């Protein structure tokens, strides 16, 4: 799309905005837009709040994927979601999922209809602080898991609940990216990948915890030592995330290789349950280094 630059007055140059774009966002004369210089490029962004997005979902006759369907509209960035239902059970499923979606509330409810609305708003200023919070929570779940394993605890269900908070925050960040993108638009896709990997890392911790919990396992001192090493590796990753440097990234990659080499050696003589634990250790370690790869793209 090309636009001709027009001279307005003795020293002012102007260019018109695409009509399709301004109609889509409801921009009118007198409204403000953001302009950001990026080397030779000029990024034009509409101010938030010009247009609320609404969508309707008909769940009558649908008996599966209900929570996932509702969540998909939240992640997409819709501000209001009207849902048609045909049973109290579906209403309860929707309510349960809405409780997990930051900022969303059910503002109207009848026998066959629910109206969900974003009551908290979405601010791009919160994105960076929330993603740091996610990294902190991952570090916390690693710490708490290690303490529980060292104490030979076998009821670790409370640790699985911690992982749910990670999912709530990653979902909210996905929503922010889908609604507005990252403040530096060139980094939006990288942050999307990074968030996906952070969520995967949380899932890997959950799988490890669930396996230990379901089988009431007490890990050997040798496996506890391995997990302690991974816990330190997780802490080093958090430091790298908060203050990136190539030297720290290289050290993290070297430690990853040492951990994986140690795990592979143990696998050669491991029993089935030990093998499963080691596989989860490997998954956690590899996920962290994949996230570090995305940090290289951002910094």
Of 14-18, 101-105, 121-125, 228-232, least confident by mean pLDDT is 121-125
Domain 54-118: which topology?
Answer: Translation Initiation Factor IF3 (3.30.110)
**What's the token pair of residue 258?**
């040492």
Average pLDDT of 283-289? 96
The CATH number of the structural domain formed by 124-298 is 1.20.58.220
* CB-CB contact of 49 with 58 (8 Å): no
**Tell me, what's the pLDDT at 21?**
73
Distance of CA 5 to CAs 13, 35, 107, Å?
6, 16, 48
Average pLDDT of 107-119? 89
Res. 124: pLDDT tops 60: no
List the Cα angle 197/139/159 in 5-degree steps.
95
Contacts of 49 (CB under 8 A, 6+ apart): none
* CB-CB contact of 197 with 174 (8 Å): no
Convert the pLDDT of each residue in 243-263 to its tens digit.
Answer: 999 999 999 999 999 999 999
pTM: 0.79
**What's the token pair of residue 239?**
């430091």
**Tell me, what's the pLDDT at 11?**
67
């Amino acid at each position: 799309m090309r636009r001709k630059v027009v001279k307005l007055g003795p020293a002012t140059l102007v260019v018109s905005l695409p009509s399709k774009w301004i109609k889509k966002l409801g921009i009118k004369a007198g409204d403000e837009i953001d302009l950001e210089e990026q080397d030779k490029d000029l990024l034009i962004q509409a101010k938030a709040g010009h247009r609320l997005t609404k969508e309707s979902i008909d769940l009558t006759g649908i008996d599966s994927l209900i929570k996932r369907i509702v969540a998909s509209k939240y992640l997409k960035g819709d501000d209001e979601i009207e849902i048609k239902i045909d049973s109290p059970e579906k209403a309860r499923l929707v309510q349960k999922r809405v409780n997990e979606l930051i900022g969303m509330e059910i503002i109207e409810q009848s026998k066959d209809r629910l109206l969900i609305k974003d009551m908290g708003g979405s601010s791009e200023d919160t994105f960076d602080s929330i993603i740091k919070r996610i990294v902190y929570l991952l570090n916390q779940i690693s710490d708490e898991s290690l303490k529980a394993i060292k104490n030979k605890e076998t009821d670790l269900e409370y640790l699985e609940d911690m992982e749910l908070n990670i999912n709530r925050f990653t979902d909210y960040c996905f929503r922010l990216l889908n609604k507005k993108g990252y403040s530096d638009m060139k980094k939006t896709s990288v942050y999307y990948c990074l968030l996906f990997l952070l969520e995967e890392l949380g899932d890997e911790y959950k799988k490890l915890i669930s396996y230990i919990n379901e089988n009431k396992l007490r890990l050997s001192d040798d496996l506890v030592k391995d997990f302690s090493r991974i816990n330190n590796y997780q802490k080093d990753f958090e430091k790298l995330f908060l203050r990136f440097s190539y030297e720290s990234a290289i050290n993290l990659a070297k430690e990853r290789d040492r951990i994986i080499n140690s795990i592979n050696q143990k696998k050669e003589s491991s029993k089935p349950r030990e093998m499963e634990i080691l596989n989860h250790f490997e998954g956690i370690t590899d996920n962290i280094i994949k996230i570090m790869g995305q940090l290289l793209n951002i910094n």
